[in-house]
A and B are shown apart, each in its own frame.
Chain A
Amino acid sequence: MYTQALNKEVAEVESEDTEKLEAFQARIDREEKIEPNDWMPAAYRKTLVRQISQHAHSEVVGMLPEGNWVTRAPSLERKAILLAKIQDEGGHGLYLYSAAETLGVSREELVDQLLTGKAKYSSIFNYPTLNWADVGAVGWLVDGAAIMNQIPLCRCSYGPYSRAMIRICKEESFHQRQGYDLLVAMMKGTPEQQEMVQDAVNRLWWPALMMFGPSDKDSQHSAASMKWKIKRFTNDELRQKFVDATVPQARVLGITLPDPDLKYNEEAGHWEHGQPDWDEFYNTIHGNGICNKQRMKDRIRAHEDGAWVREAAQAYAAKQSAKKSAA
């Protein structure tokens, strides 16, 4: 998901050894992976730290809208599935924090950046999950969009990020399928349940399209990320892939997508689609979305409430190792 960080350019001009820069670019062009202790341009490192940590924060904050439904899942099976999915999101956050840490930033700094609002997370998680069908729609649309974004990241030039993405992509497929399965089940239910599905899709469709970031014409910033093979496709290319994959799935499900401009272009072989409300997108990433304040409040509280556990664990470890060295 969560590549929205790539839409911001690292501003400073390189004042690094041209020879080293050229050798680095040559390695990238040969599709060699860059590993943690290899030389890399400062801007490459900075871009990756921002991108990977924003991705990690998104996974962690992404647990909140789904956690909203754990106690109200309609069956024990759905509850177990939802818990497993949320646990995966936490795991994904941890793989990604570890990958970011290989670039020389500490876990504590990264968490601090999220909690002080210095670091961002994906705009999608600032939308509420209002009915049970939202859990399905998040899996189908949000994780579906995430997969489109993340599959090319498996080939990212930075080794630890690429390896984390491979693990994540294997698990994401379960997320999308369980969501779709949940919606299919509801569509076989009462008219009210079918309406709940349509309502969830109506609310989440446009925010899901926003996950790919602004239109290419308004985002001239991905050039460096493309050159360094961090990013492999533009925002619009990925969005188009997602729309093309999703429209037929919506038909099978028996719902309509809330875009009057959606129409198949035979010649191009693509679904033409309308544009999301970009003002709403910018409003959300600037902190004024529906749930931004609630999400931050919840993360801060979770971190503060957990402080005594971390302190106790460290105190216990210190005591045990003192005992050991005394013996």
Chain B
Amino acid sequence: MSEQATPLWEVFIRARNGMSHRHAGSVHAADAEMALQAARDVYTRRGEGLSIWVVPSAAIVANDPDEKGEMFEPTASKIYRHPTFYELPDEVANM
């Protein structure tokens, strides 16, 4: 275990044009080029993608799940942001 750890990368794949990249998993690789090649071999063996992004895992900033109450609280009380909050007169069938 004297070896240095190989960096971790997160892999995002666009399955086809018109769709956004989605998180597929992660790979270990010494540099970006090798990470891309490893991501191709590990996550697109059956035509799963047309575009791959790899991002150093250490570069991702995430919220603390223990504080998700405070983080997402402001949204809970704003039900008027949803169209279903508004009642339409019966005469208006669709809007």
Contact = CB atoms under 8 A, between A and B. Distances in A.
B3 A310 contact: yes
A192 interface: no
Nearest to B28: A107
A108 B28 CA distance: 11
Contacts of A112: 1
A37 B65 contact: yes
A316 B28 CA distance: 15
A109 B45 contact: no
A101 interface: yes
B3 A91 contact: no
Nearest to B63: A37
B35 to A, nearest CB: 10
Task: Report, as a range, how many residues of chain A touch the other chain.
Answer: 20 to 34
Interface string A89-104: 0010011001001000
A285 to B, nearest CB: 25
Contact of A316 (B4, B31, B41): B31
B31 A38 contact: no
Interface in A148-170: 163-164, 167
B4 A91 contact: no
A39 interface: yes
A95 B6 contact: no
Nearest to A320: B31
A95 B27 CA distance: 8
B34 A313 contact: yes
Contacts of A317: 30-31, 34
A131 interface: no
Contact of A313 (B25, B27, B30, B64): B30
Interface of A: 35, 37-39, 84, 87-88, 91, 94-95, 98, 101, 106-109, 112, 163-164, 167, 171, 307, 310-311, 313-314, 316-317, 320-321
Interface of B: 1, 3-6, 8, 25-31, 34, 41-42, 45-46, 62, 64-66
Given A39-B65, A101-B26, A109-B1, 13 more contacts: A87-B41, A91-B41, A91-B45, A98-B27, A107-B28, A164-B25, A167-B25, A171-B46, A310-B30, A311-B3, A314-B4, A317-B30, A320-B31
30 contacts: A35-B65, A37-B64, A37-B65, A38-B65, A39-B66, A84-B45, A87-B41, A88-B45, A91-B41, A91-B42, A94-B27, A94-B42, A95-B25, A98-B27, A101-B26, A107-B6, A108-B1, A108-B3, A109-B1, A112-B1, A163-B25, A171-B46, A310-B3, A310-B30, A311-B3, A313-B6, A313-B30, A314-B6, A317-B31, A320-B31
